[in-house]
Structure 1
């Protein structure tokens, strides 16, 4: 069965064509590193990048993070060799394979079938799958995709850049807002009107999160393109966290600590969660189904939220030890 408890606060993208970046990746502080054979690699460099990734998997110490490989798309001539060569030669070091541009459940099943045959032939443990939802077709079928291959599928990732291209959205920054996607207030006394920006990716991301949570998967937000805009990255990450995402991509090492910060519960959140659990335990001893804490009602739903948060903190702490 797929691992459902892995930390995903930060997922660092590393081009397979860059040996220097590959060498630094295990110590970048990310929960997950994905070695990229797809968009970050030019067509003429695909085969060398694959060799680089295999060498990196076999020779570097990946004990500080999970490691995955993003293969090329199923509609390319590189995909099958990515799966076969990487898994046959370095599958023992691999936690998961990231499938780009997943349009339908059959895309998941194709890679899963290849994996099963290689694992059986090489005596490997099962390797998980992540699916990138980054096309109009993929988003349209996201519910069915989330139900595909439950024994392997671990996470769905929102690939905002290709998704924007697929739906022909007008965007000014990968993962950022568009000033045209805004609403105006009614006229004020002086006749002026306030302009409020909106998040053009809210619907798509929320839809993917629901599909994930309904099927026991981890929802991950994708890239934020401006590596110099720290405030913009943090805002995008906080929006994703508010919707229920587990983590966010980092396309540069400088974004890793930002993602870790946002997706790590704050001390205040942890303290309140512990107080909720203590208050509900006291209520249970007194035969009460709900109690008030700080003037607010807490009930069974509050317990589940608090338990989820404490479990995440304990998992993070285990990773530090």
Structure 2
């Protein structure tokens, strides 16, 4: 079963209390942030605090460390730190413009899977080669930085983002990589968050990055199969198997044709539901 990434919560790596609290939060994954969430003067202390935190048990939660870019004065130290770090599952690289950015980090960190922040116009245009990188495991949409680069206005329908979101989604799906949506900044607006989560789920994202624990319940619900979807998936599989036993190539469920491709989707729905149940259990 594939690990779920419905909710991916950013936690400042310099905040020991927040990292401790995150061990009990219902999040599928944690991004321990050494980049934007840590002030320049606190970068070394942030690495020390993170090493201590990752010595503790985070249960089934995926532990992803976001480093500073190698072009910054802290990026090289961050990468070397991660190369020897115990307890991390992956390293997230900010502002990935091309596969060459992944190569440079991969040369320093030989073992951990890499994730890419997709937040620049160059990243959008080079998404296929980034997604094809052999060390890449996942992609994270950085919609705040992308909006800054585009000089776009905020819209609830995210129209200015759709081209970039779509390019990255296509690239990730073509190469079998995890891809999670960008953050929703108004952490007290549950209705707005729910609408954006539903949009992301409808588009095909695996989950959403979050800035506050209060957003977890909405994201976990939105990116999990509903009871109705699970029930339909089971009935589609049963009906198709019965039809196949009678030598038929298609079945009918709820007045709609069910073919092989629908059964494949149905099996993925059930696998996802099982993976979520295992995570929560």
Alignment partner, residue 265 of structure 1: 225
Does residue 12 of the first structure (1) align with residue 21 of the second (2)? no
Alignment partner, residue 30 of structure 1: 27
Task: Describe the superposition over 1:1-52 as per-residue Cα deviations: whole angstroms up to 9, x where unpaired.
Answer: xxx9222111010011212111111111111011101111121221111111
The one of 127, 140, 144 aligned to 2:125: 140
Task: Give distance in 1, aligned partners of 2:279 and 2:15.
Answer: 28
Task: Give distance in 1, aligned partners of 2:3 and 2:99.
Answer: 23
The structural deviation recorded for 1:53 is: 1.0
The one of 136, 139, 144 aligned to 1:156: 139
The one of 65, 71, 81 aligned to 2:61: 65
1:100-119 to 2 correspondence within 5 Å?
Answer: 100-116=94-110
Alignment partner, residue 254 of structure 1: 214
The structural deviation recorded for 1:282 is: 0.5
| Partner-residue secondary structure (3-state), 2:3 | coil
Task: Give distance in 1, aligned partners of 2:51 and 2:171.
Answer: 33
Alignment partner, residue 243 of structure 2: 283
**RMSD of the alignment, in Å?**
1.4
Give the conservation status (yes or no) of the 8 Å contact 1:50–1:86: no
The structural deviation recorded for 1:198 is: 6.1
Task: Give distance in 2, aligned partners of 1:226 and 1:320.
Answer: 26
Alignment partner, residue 82 of structure 1: 78
Give the conservation status (yes or no) of the 8 Å contact 2:83–2:108: no
Alignment partner, residue 319 of structure 1: 279
Structure 1 residues 270 and 295, CA, compared in 2 at 3 Å: closer, same or farther? same
Task: Give distance in 2, aligned partners of 1:206 and 1:86.
Answer: 31
Alignment partner, residue 181 of structure 1: none
Task: Give distance in 1, aligned partners of 2:152 and 2:69.
Answer: 22
The structural deviation recorded for 1:110 is: 1.0
The normalised TM-score by structure 1 is: 0.84
The one of 45, 49, 66 aligned to 1:48: 45
Give the conservation status (yes or no) of the 8 Å contact 1:26–1:33: no
Structure 1 residues 264 and 228, CA, compared in 2 at 3 Å: closer, same or farther? same
Task: Give distance in 2, aligned partners of 1:225 and 1:159.
Answer: 12
Does residue 169 of the first structure (1) align with residue 189 of the second (2)? no
| Partner-residue secondary structure (3-state), 1:62 | coil
Task: Give distance in 2, aligned partners of 1:127 and 1:208.
Answer: 22
Give the conservation status (yes or no) of the 8 Å contact 1:54–1:86: no
Does residue 229 of the first structure (1) align with residue 189 of the second (2)? yes
Structure 1 residues 93 and 104, CA, compared in 2 at 3 Å: closer, same or farther? same
The one of 87, 104, 110 aligned to 1:93: 87
Task: Describe the superposition over 1:192-245 as per-residue Cα deviations: whole angstroms up to 9, x where unpaired.
Answer: xxxxx6633222212211100100101110111010111111111111111111
Task: Describe the superposition over 1:123-150 as per-residue Cα deviations: whole angstroms up to 9, x where unpaired.
Answer: xxx31111010001111101111111x2
Task: Describe the superposition over 1:220-279 as per-residue Cα deviations: whole angstroms up to 9, x where unpaired.
Answer: 101110101111111111111111110001110111111111111010100000000000
Q: Which runs of 4+ in 1 moved over 6 A?
A: none
Q: Which moved more, 1:132-141 or 1:79-88?
A: 79-88
1:299-314 to 2 correspondence within 5 Å?
Answer: 299-314=259-274
